[in-house]
Structure 1
Amino acid sequence: MRAASGESEEAPKVFHVIVDEKEGESTKSSSSDLAEKELSVGERRRLLRRLDLVLAPTIMIFYLIAFLDRTNIGNAKIAGLTEDIHLKGNQFNIVTSLFYVTFILFEIPTTLLIKKFQPKQMLTLIVITFSLTTIFTGFVQNYAGFLATRLVLGVCEAGLFPCLTVYLTMIYSRDELAPRIAYLFAASALSGAFSGLFAYAILHMHSVGGYAGWRWLFIIEGMIGFVAGVLGYFVIPNDPAKAWFLSEPYREMVRRRQAQRRFDLEADHFDWKSVKEALKDFKIYLSSLAEFGQDTCLYGFSTFLPAIIRGMGHQSLSVQYLTIPVYILGAAVYIIASFLSDRFRSRGLILITSNIFPIIGYILLLTCQGKNNVLYFACYLCSLGIYTGAGLNVTWLSANVAPHYKRATAISMQMAIANSAGILSGQVYQFPPKYVAGHATSLVAIGIATVLHILTIFYYSAKNTTKRRSMDQLTPDELLKQPHNDDDPQFLYML
């Protein structure tokens, strides 16, 4: 991806070559003619619009449905789940946390399989299996059954977000990623808004067929997901150059883009070397720890927002619609921030700026107990930065790791480490209605994440300075022999 347009304007021209293993000589790629035909600005925009028209709503629906369960479990709780299956003490929090154990364990292996089994097959299998598990959740009768379904759900959902992210990096260049990954996190925010509407409507089905409203919540949600998974199989293309929704001129544009991104898209076979390189890469751990802090807020906020608002004195059904504008604001702000991030080629500064709002929000939640209007306003402040921070940090790392299998490993590592925050948030959000421990933990977590973002900017800046000096000292032939990964001096990190 050395020639990606999102790199610094100072980045040199990239030479597209492959190495003849028999002779050990560099030869021109068979796709060199295509690689030389760069798309015009107009062609690029038209192609991106065509791709977005089909792929954006598809991936958003997939992730919205997956995240719907994480928000609806909070709605189900206040609608009688804990009483109906006789949960005691902190059993609900234990189940909420243990979901992330299997979720984390299966993220890396699932993500590494996406290229072997192809995106269409992998993504639709994930959606169908977690949707079936969601349906089964509607029939649990006790703590053991509830725990079992959540553990299985963690296995089934584990690879969805990292697989979707890796899939996007296979289609879009790194200066195009922010809005596309924003669609995923916007979907997670919108799932909160939709879950409020969805729960408000479905909970009126209480006693229909002899089932409680919260049971219908899981059953209908799972059925919707199952249908979406089946339909998605016929929508998602494994190779955009053969996409059913693109005419031949547009397919030719895709092939030209692919030829220009050979550095980024190489390694059709599984590459253990790239996996090992990811495991030793400092920047991946730095980003993952920052994402842990961001996700501590994200999971605590999205799972327990209904309970937080109910603690302000609102009744069950009114809670459902009071959450809606909070989630919608979070989604809208994140989409705007993602476009600004690509427009100004800036990740870190926008991340840091967005985190200021939830920091203020959590301070208000901790210090203004009893002032319900202020507390509700604080929820809006939190939503302004929580989704932007979590999503943009994923985009930042995705753009700064190459080639494919190193990136796939990096994203799944980041998610595995970050999603362990779900275990933490499930334990600290206890002791209603004030949730002091939960808010305090979230405040500390997002503060640490902000500091780590600042350190990351300095780290990337120092690395870029070293790379530019190295390029000044290397001849064109020596540049051709550089490693085909993000250590290449021609691969400048995005800040």
Structure 2
Amino acid sequence: MSGDKKETYEENVKDLQQGSLEAIDISSGLPGTLQRTDADEALDFALQLSYDKQIDADADRKLTRKIDLIVFPVMALVYAAQFLDKTSMSYAAVMGLRTDLNMVGNMYSWSGTSFYLGYLVFEYPAAWMLQRFPLAKTLAAFLIVWGVILTLTSVANYAGFIAIRTILGMMESSTSIGFMLLTAQYYHREQQGSRTSFWVAFNGLGQIIGGAMAYGLSEREESLPIAGWKLVFIICGVITIFLGILFLIVIPDNPFKSRFLNDAEKELIVLRLRQNQQGVGNHKFKSYQFIEALTDVRTWIMFISSVALNIPNGGIGTFSSILIKGTMGYNESMTLLMGLPAGACEFVGLIAFGLISPFVKNRMVLASITTVIALVGSCLMSFAGPPKAQLAGYYLLMVSPGAMIVMFSIVSSNVSGHTKKTTVGAIYLIGYCVGNLIGPQTFQDQDAPGYRPAKIVMVAFYCLTLITLPALYFVNSRENKRRDKLVQEGLLDHEENSEFADLTDKENLEFRYVL
């Protein structure tokens, strides 16, 4: 790069590149930088592979199928189990939990809030641990401890129950961000949205299994050795322990340590990562990337979106069974059965969402569609008189995670630099916690059984979510155009293997944001 070009380049992009840029000699390019000890773990494999090598389409499709058959099913089952664990409290609420633990007034609301309080407090420590220690082993440890703690719910009094719910929130805080990192390691950027949608869809399967299990136990309550709601927690805990052990056995810490991929397939992973302009991770915490995450406007648009989307989620997640029983007039058994179609709506709706997503180039449009459907559902719950119309509204709410799926995929594909990615993911999930903390508190005992004010709050925050989505699109689109202009003016030189230098999306100006 000539002296004039270099000066112009630095003048145009100094507000874009931050942190470790001073360690990069622009005149000599990135190869010297790539020898740093804080480069991505995939660097050694990348340096052994010709930069001109192209992806073979047939081999690439076979690799995707292999990952879909080995990695994805384990992730999907774990996600189903963790949602089953969360919804177990909603089922237990109509099976005698509140009576046996002497819950009165707003004591049950705090059962939901305490879970997300633990999630909130431990989200960033969990993200730090996932970066600092081997990814799969750390996730497996969280899962096994989660399962053990869940089984202890069966012997707790109210104070112990609240303490256990708080610890469970701490344990679950690792799952979503860990799965974002795993998805980014294995899949093309254009595949990450659909795969994220597929594993989140298994929340619905968890709800179906949980509802059917709770119904079966409630029908045989008199013949059970202990209360049915206690068995719900024990069964869910044992399932989670089993899946934690399975996760430990099957899932490697990164693709290059896997036993199920051969050398040619690992080379394909490198080529995918090059195409994604991202690596598989780095165990070193980089403070400048942490600061960049905190000062990036995208982070806070996503945070506000997360809070707004999850205030309704927190309320419905905790009070769905109570609403069905109280507002819609069903008995205990029918209340549990009416939860099954909700799980089916979520499972089928989000699978369809994932199948459609590769054909819709604008992710914010997809997120907006699912949020509008959820808004219609919340309006039916708030303003429709007939119980069946309210129940239909509740079922429509089950596609609301579509917007969250888009944001998960945005973290996977649009945030680069491992410390920055884990930080942005943690902040988004902290917003998820804040929303879910607030949600149950909008359901006040004096508003029972209809809880109309809480339902109106849901309508308002779905509207706020719809404002944040185009805002994120605008910021990313404007930045892509700015970088394209730099390329057209000849102010950027391509550097081989820059994607494995663990640069952030702001540092690596060859990076483009998925819209």
Aligned to 1:485: 504
Structure 1 position 32, deviation (Å) = 6.3
Say if 2:300 is the partner of 1:285: yes
Q: Distance in 1 between matches of 2:51 and 2:360?
A: 26
Measured on the aligned residues, the alpha-carbon RMSD in Å equals 2.5
Say if 2:255 is the partner of 1:240: yes
Structure 1 position 261, deviation (Å) = 5.3
Say if 2:302 is the partner of 1:302: no
Q: Distance in 2 between matches of 1:366 and 1:56?
A: 38
Q: TM-score, normalised by structure 1?
A: 0.89
2:293 alignment partner AA: A
Aligned to 2:391: 376
Cα 1:348/1:22, change in 2 over 3 Å: closer
Aligned to 1:4: none
Cα 1:120/1:318, change in 2 over 3 Å: same
Q: Distance in 2 between matches of 1:464 and 1:208?
A: 64
1:44 alignment partner AA: D
Q: Distance in 2 between matches of 1:478 and 1:244?
A: 34
Say if 2:410 is the partner of 1:400: no
Aligned to 1:18: 31
8 Å Cα contact 1:207-1:213 kept in structure 2: no
8 Å Cα contact 1:203-1:216 kept in structure 2: no
Cα 1:478/1:387, change in 2 over 3 Å: closer
Structure 1 position 215, deviation (Å) = 0.5
Aligned to 1:274: 289
SS of alignment partner, residue 234 of structure 1: helix
SS of alignment partner, residue 31 of structure 2: strand
| 4+ aligned runs moved over 6 Å, structure 1 | 478-483
Q: Distance in 1 between matches of 2:56 and 2:352?
A: 25
Aligned with 2:207 (options 168, 184, 192): 192
Deviations along 1:331-390, one digit per CA (max 9) or x if unpaired, are: 222222223223333210111122111111111111113x1221122122222x312122
Identity of matched residues, %: 22
Q: Distance in 1 between matches of 2:91 and 2:489?
A: 61
8 Å Cα contact 2:130-2:174 kept in structure 1: no
Aligned to 1:454: 470
SS of alignment partner, residue 113 of structure 1: helix
Cα 1:63/1:478, change in 2 over 3 Å: closer
Structure 1 position 76, deviation (Å) = 0.3
Cα 1:378/1:20, change in 2 over 3 Å: closer
Which sections of structure 2, spanning at least 5 residues, go unmatched?
A: 1-27, 37-42
Structure 1 position 478, deviation (Å) = 7.6
8 Å Cα contact 2:126-2:173 kept in structure 1: yes
2:234 alignment partner AA: I
Aligned to 1:3: none
* More moved, 398-407 vs 207-216: 207-216
Structure 1 position 460, deviation (Å) = 1.6
Q: Distance in 1 between matches of 2:349 and 2:443?
A: 25
Task: Please show how residues 411-490 of structure 1 align to structure 2 within 5 Å.
Answer: 411-430=425-444, 431-477=447-493, 484-487=503-506, 488-490=508-510
Cα 1:307/1:117, change in 2 over 3 Å: same
8 Å Cα contact 1:189-1:328 kept in structure 2: yes
Deviations along 1:232-287, one digit per CA (max 9) or x if unpaired, are: 21111112234223344433433443465574445443322211211111101101
2:405 alignment partner AA: G
Aligned to 1:12: none
8 Å Cα contact 1:205-1:216 kept in structure 2: no
8 Å Cα contact 1:108-1:412 kept in structure 2: yes
8 Å Cα contact 1:178-1:339 kept in structure 2: no
SS of alignment partner, residue 155 of structure 2: coil
Q: Distance in 2 between matches of 1:264 and 1:330?
A: 32
Aligned to 1:225: 240
Task: Please show how residues 59-138 of structure 1 align to structure 2 within 5 Å.
Answer: 59-138=75-154
Aligned to 1:10: none
SS of alignment partner, residue 400 of structure 2: helix
Task: Please show how residues 311-322 of structure 1 align to structure 2 within 5 Å.
Answer: 311-322=327-338
Say if 2:167 is the partner of 1:152: yes
Aligned to 2:269: 254
2:93 alignment partner AA: K
Aligned to 2:158: 143
8 Å Cα contact 2:123-2:429 kept in structure 1: yes
* More moved, 273-282 vs 111-120: 111-120
8 Å Cα contact 1:97-1:426 kept in structure 2: yes
Cα 1:21/1:292, change in 2 over 3 Å: closer
Structure 1 position 90, deviation (Å) = 0.7
1:400 alignment partner AA: N
Which sections of structure 1, spanning at least 5 residues, go unmatched?
A: 1-14
Structure 1 position 307, deviation (Å) = 1.8
Cα 1:346/1:404, change in 2 over 3 Å: same
* More moved, 116-125 vs 257-266: 257-266
Q: Distance in 1 between matches of 2:68 and 2:169?
A: 29
Structure 1 position 303, deviation (Å) = 2.9
Q: Distance in 2 between matches of 1:174 and 1:16?
A: 26
Aligned to 1:161: 176
Say if 2:218 is the partner of 1:203: yes
Cα 1:433/1:266, change in 2 over 3 Å: closer
Q: TM-score, normalised by structure 2?
A: 0.86
Cα 1:320/1:465, change in 2 over 3 Å: same
Q: Distance in 2 between matches of 1:81 and 1:22?
A: 58
* More moved, 337-346 vs 88-97: 337-346
